[in-house]
Amino acid sequence: WKDEDSGSSSGGGSGSGSGSTGNTQEPDGSDLPFIDVTTGDWYYEAVKFAYENKLFSGVSDTDFGADITMTRSMLVTVLYSMEGKPAVSGGTNFVDVPESAWYHDAVIWAAQNNIVTGYSENQFGSNDSVTREQIALILYNYAKSKGYDVSQYGNLGVFADEDQVSD
């Protein structure tokens, strides 16, 4: 992910295909600067919305990273961006969240607002791929922090992999 403030970038976690996708196609007249997102892609409008609203900035000036796996740090950065990147104070005990990291403030903000926790007191899992269960919990916690009604529950039995969901 490219930090718009510093211009530095970082791809996803281990095994995520981080960095450039190797796509060398020319831009196709889209309103986006990314060569790996074209107007014919099913996700084009979603990427355009996210980019124009400064929710996602891509992994470089020319690559969005549409084919990489989202990490825990990426997800909290999106939520932090949605909130307008509020100022944070204090630090973190997470050894895998260095002060110089593009996601540092986002992780602190999310932890201070009870949106995320780490795997332990010292380990956030910054570059780990975010699982569906983690996404659900993080979005639930975010909605709760916003005062949204989170009382509705669904039946996981409708999913073929229901037996693989943690308690």
Q: Which amino acid is at 163?
A: D
DSSP sequence for 107-156: HHHHHHTTS---SSSS---TTSBPPHHHHHHHHHHHHHHTT--------G
Phi, psi of 137 (to 5 degrees): -65, -45
Segment 104-133, tens digit of pLDDT? 999 999 999 999 999 999 999 999 999 988
Coil, helix or strand at residue 157 = helix
Q: Return the pLDDT at 145.
A: 95
Segment 64-107, tens digit of pLDDT? 998 899 999 999 999 999 999 999 998 899 999 999 999 999 99
Tell how far CA 20 is from the center of its chain.
17
pTM metric for this prediction? 0.76
Q: Which amino acid is at 37?
A: V
- The neighbouring-strand residues paired with 71 are 129
With contact defined as beta carbons under 8 Å apart, do 109 and 86 qualify?
yes
Phi, psi of 9 (to 5 degrees): -135, 160
If pLDDT is split at 50, 70 and 90, which confidence band does 165 have? confident
